Structure 1
């Protein structure tokens, strides 16, 4: 009878209700829920704004809002302290124009009376009434890829034709949240026409843009006259004109994709002719129009990518003709000119941001470092990632720097951000913490990367599945000389509330973590064995008591207690 009582009590203790952890101490490295309402990242090197010296100090934030920054902050007792020793904190990056998480809408069917010279606007890619929100999913893989590269806010553009719709400002935060900072922030425009119908050419696109813009202006004037004058025929604005109205009225800009210097000239010419607010995005070849950009005062977003240098690296040095050598030199010069363009923008005093559209997240930091190596200052590079796009998008009051009252959006790296070996370990977006596995250079000279020894120090939130149901608890592991020590918490078998026990025999063999702890109940001491395989911030394994068998266990390593 006593053994049956112990079995029920201990199994219930260990696997049904080890500990109900307070909500403020829960964490999830995937960012699916906040670690706590209030956090303090302490003893980190903080770069609050581009060009500022790093300071050793604390960043305090609550509910996604920064409460304070400095070396001697008074921390509220409820704050979860996150040691940030040896880490570097920067403002979260801002994407001035992106397609991450955006899908292209389905093409409508052509009507039976379709005329290619005068197609319906929707067929011709003229849909300014559409919203990027309707095409966006935060669960898209590109969103996670760009967040992993440090981006916390993106102005997402709709995908489509010459006037695909309106942009939306999104924060790359928790899945399931609304995450919208502002809708209808700009009208997206492209110089690409429609296949097999008007406008199929660049000249046709420009003519059609003028037509849409001017007809919208006339429709707005008619609406004003109707509202103030008796006897005026009721205006009938089309869906296209209603969608275009905000840009014609100067309430939002037109964000024109203009990759080449010729397209830059065309977009600025349209702006001067019609008078709308203009932002240029997707710039790739713009060296020859930097003076025009400067004189027009047009905000610009350059593509966060550099040309492929394979053609330069693969050039032969022997047994080639003079003509081939001349061709090689032209290719090399074109490449060198392309990667120094950003520095020319800086020298001209033109503040610019980046667009992630048509770029690769995994190559982003390499591209920025290449630009720095070719004349762009680190201050200008950081400004292009933070304060410049914040200004261009009109969100400087909430983002771009680390200041009291702004959003808790941070990039946390293992070293000074623009160093070659620096890696982004954590990203905080909207106060949610996302953890990323850090790689280290291989020492065998094969050019590949190898994972570091798994990190096990910190607070683990674990769950075990038993016939009695699902239960969870908290395991704290810290470094102790050349080994490890720590505690595990659980409910007192006698009903006295929550208690803790020291863990023992902690060992990490490759990716396998093993440890034990003792539970005293009814005068008996039972040893509980935990064994699991650690992959990044996750662990899968078993929790076992010799007398009662083993049960599946999963765990997550939480940020607040030294995943950092």
Structure 2
């Protein structure tokens, strides 16, 4: 079976003379730190364009941060850098709704000397709807990369604060030198957390205060409109709180109520019925008994992407006393009910998305796999991470699926995304590609080793294709201790036969091989980078030569050319 070897094919171009005419361009960025191209082609991957769609072999073409083509017969521009995807699976990038990623805690306001606990100022009482999550966000926070590593490319960030913390924003989990802002005002963050030592200090007090603010905002709006048309009226009071609440009253943005328990869910829905605002229930943890209530309300739903700890269940012993067994059975029942809740939302026909607020990124895939094992379909799980979240956030036109014209936010994994051994190899955010290390799967193979690595020692006869024609040579690989060394021959750019260069930075990770070597042309050294998949006695893929592009490469292990063992 043939797989791919990426990045190896400059030799014909060196002979053709095209390289010499391009040297000035190549020297424009000798550091290599700048993006060489804004155009990428991920070729021959298994692409899942949307939840419920079967994976198909296709190429995804990206330019300037957008998907410009998805298909099997795309015409690739010369400037496209090729990423061989024969062994990769491509999914839409995940979207995290109502997240705390990158959010820093604001400084608490100082209480004035004449502070009255029964009537505090809005800011001291945690009523700050005018604040923006953008002002609290840091792209340099380690949580950003942690979340990106598990597949998230977009997040709706929530400001930290009290009962009305402020406005949520939608951002890309992208490069530090980008603004990454998609939408600055996407909802009002609210919770039933009262203020310690002052009003409103209880959930009931929060409900009363919310009604008061809502009604006063409506009254302030009516008075302002009348004031502009009727003379002789007293100027209406306009406060930051009432001004910031106007978008909630007009229906421009929803209220994102944090409701982890069944009681909080009922309270938020009660307020929504009474006042008529758009409601998003977020952070749901315990909700099975109110699924019908949620469905009747029409509220959007964000489930916390977390499951209960199962350590206590794993520690249960068969020889326990009857009393302990009864207690263990209750714990197991509660756990089983908790991990099956998402599947019951699906069964009720309620579209939902996930939120990772307060969740460790390292636990996310385990939580998803556990939910799927307990009844949630993979289609609904993927929808909750992509199309549903995009719809709830109002960004379906630009995100949530792999389609021409949408943002290039992609996951490239080594297997189907929810498979036990699947690993994320690349993440694409806004057209920027992030590479992550993958560990080899353990397997038994007559052609490999128990740790999943393949044998690459030997002499490989290869050919590379370019616009100038075919070329080839010998790639020789030897193993010295735990390291690999070797050489590669290629057509000398001066036209005097074959030249030889040592290969360096040789890394074998499972069946993935990468290395590099230098080619000298007109007194200048050009770095050629090679990486990809090797299987048995064959490889197939491409070769990347920086600014000059990527070109097809095929090779076969020649048993008559024996390398050092």
Pairwise TM-score range, normalised by the shorter structure? 0.7 to 0.9
Superposed displacement of residue 245, structure 1: 1.7
What are the equivalent positions in structure 2 for 1:78-477 lying under 5 Å apart?
Answer: 78-321=79-322, 323-441=323-441
Moved more, 87-96 or 435-444: 435-444
Contact 2:457 2:477 in 1 (8 A): no
Cα distance, 1:319–1:427 mapped onto 2, change above 3 Å: closer
Contact 1:454 1:511 in 2 (8 A): no
Superposed displacement of residue 25, structure 1: 11
Superposed displacement of residue 171, structure 1: 1.0
Determine the C-alpha separation between the residues in 2 that align with 1:413 and 1:24: 34
Determine the C-alpha separation between the residues in 1 that align with 2:119 and 2:36: 56
Determine the C-alpha separation between the residues in 1 that align with 2:360 and 2:31: 30
What are the equivalent positions in structure 2 for 1:478-557 lying under 5 Å apart?
Answer: 512=483, 514=485
Superposed displacement of residue 505, structure 1: 5.9
Determine the C-alpha separation between the residues in 1 that align with 2:499 and 2:379: 59
Contact 2:281 2:300 in 1 (8 A): yes
Determine the C-alpha separation between the residues in 2 that align with 1:189 and 1:73: 47
Superposed displacement of residue 310, structure 1: 1.2
Contact 2:37 2:79 in 1 (8 A): no
When the two structures are superposed, what TM-score results if normalisation uses the length of structure 2? 0.78
Cα distance, 1:124–1:38 mapped onto 2, change above 3 Å: same
Q: Which has the higher contact order (CA 8 A, sep 6+)?
A: 2
Cα distance, 1:319–1:451 mapped onto 2, change above 3 Å: closer
Moved more, 85-94 or 531-540: 531-540
Contact 2:189 2:256 in 1 (8 A): yes
Moved more, 269-278 or 502-511: 502-511
Cα distance, 1:81–1:163 mapped onto 2, change above 3 Å: same
Moved more, 326-335 or 125-134: 326-335
Cα distance, 1:209–1:320 mapped onto 2, change above 3 Å: same
Structure 1 counterpart of 2:6: none
Contact 1:23 1:36 in 2 (8 A): no
Cα distance, 1:391–1:230 mapped onto 2, change above 3 Å: same
**1:82-139, Cα deviation, whole Å (9 max, x unpaired):** 2110111111111111110111101111111111111121111111111000010111
Q: CA RMSD in A?
A: 3.9
Structure 1 counterpart of 2:547: none
Superposed displacement of residue 275, structure 1: 1.1
Structure 2 counterpart of 1:56: 57
Contact 1:484 1:507 in 2 (8 A): no
**1:314-351, Cα deviation, whole Å (9 max, x unpaired):** 12321413x33222111111100000000100010000
Cα distance, 1:112–1:382 mapped onto 2, change above 3 Å: same
Determine the C-alpha separation between the residues in 2 that align with 1:410 and 1:289: 35
Point out where structure 1 has 5 or more consecutive residues left out of the alignment. 1-17, 445-449, 456-478, 488-499, 546-553
When the two structures are superposed, what TM-score results if normalisation uses the length of structure 1? 0.78
Contact 2:280 2:301 in 1 (8 A): yes
Cα distance, 1:66–1:375 mapped onto 2, change above 3 Å: same
Superposed displacement of residue 504, structure 1: 6.9
Superposed displacement of residue 236, structure 1: 2.7
Contact 2:528 2:543 in 1 (8 A): no
Q: Secondary structure at the match of 2:340?
A: helix
Contact 1:512 1:532 in 2 (8 A): no
Structure 2 counterpart of 1:44: 45
Q: Secondary structure at the match of 2:228?
A: helix
Point out where structure 2 has 5 or more consecutive residues left out of the alignment. 1-21, 445-449, 465-470, 521-526, 533-540, 545-549, 551-565
Cα distance, 1:39–1:238 mapped onto 2, change above 3 Å: same
**1:356-400, Cα deviation, whole Å (9 max, x unpaired):** 101111111111111110001111111111000111111111111
Contact 1:512 1:531 in 2 (8 A): no
Contact 2:474 2:488 in 1 (8 A): yes
Moved more, 201-210 or 228-237: 228-237
Q: Secondary structure at the match of 1:439?
A: coil
Cα distance, 1:381–1:484 mapped onto 2, change above 3 Å: farther
Structure 1 counterpart of 2:68: 67
**1:56-83, Cα deviation, whole Å (9 max, x unpaired):** 1111121011111111222223322221
Superposed displacement of residue 248, structure 1: 1.9
Cα distance, 1:375–1:529 mapped onto 2, change above 3 Å: closer
Structure 2 counterpart of 1:8: none
Contact 1:60 1:68 in 2 (8 A): yes
**1:517-541, Cα deviation, whole Å (9 max, x unpaired):** 89999x9x99986765869999999
Contact 1:150 1:411 in 2 (8 A): yes
Contact 1:353 1:384 in 2 (8 A): yes
Superposed displacement of residue 156, structure 1: 0.5
Contact 1:26 1:35 in 2 (8 A): no
Determine the C-alpha separation between the residues in 2 that align with 1:120 and 1:313: 50
Determine the C-alpha separation between the residues in 2 that align with 1:226 and 1:385: 47
Q: Secondary structure at the match of 1:255?
A: strand
**1:475-522, Cα deviation, whole Å (9 max, x unpaired):** xxxx896669899xxxxxxxxxxxx9989765565775655689999x
Cα distance, 1:527–1:349 mapped onto 2, change above 3 Å: closer
Determine the C-alpha separation between the residues in 1 that align with 2:47 and 2:452: 25
Contact 2:158 2:167 in 1 (8 A): yes
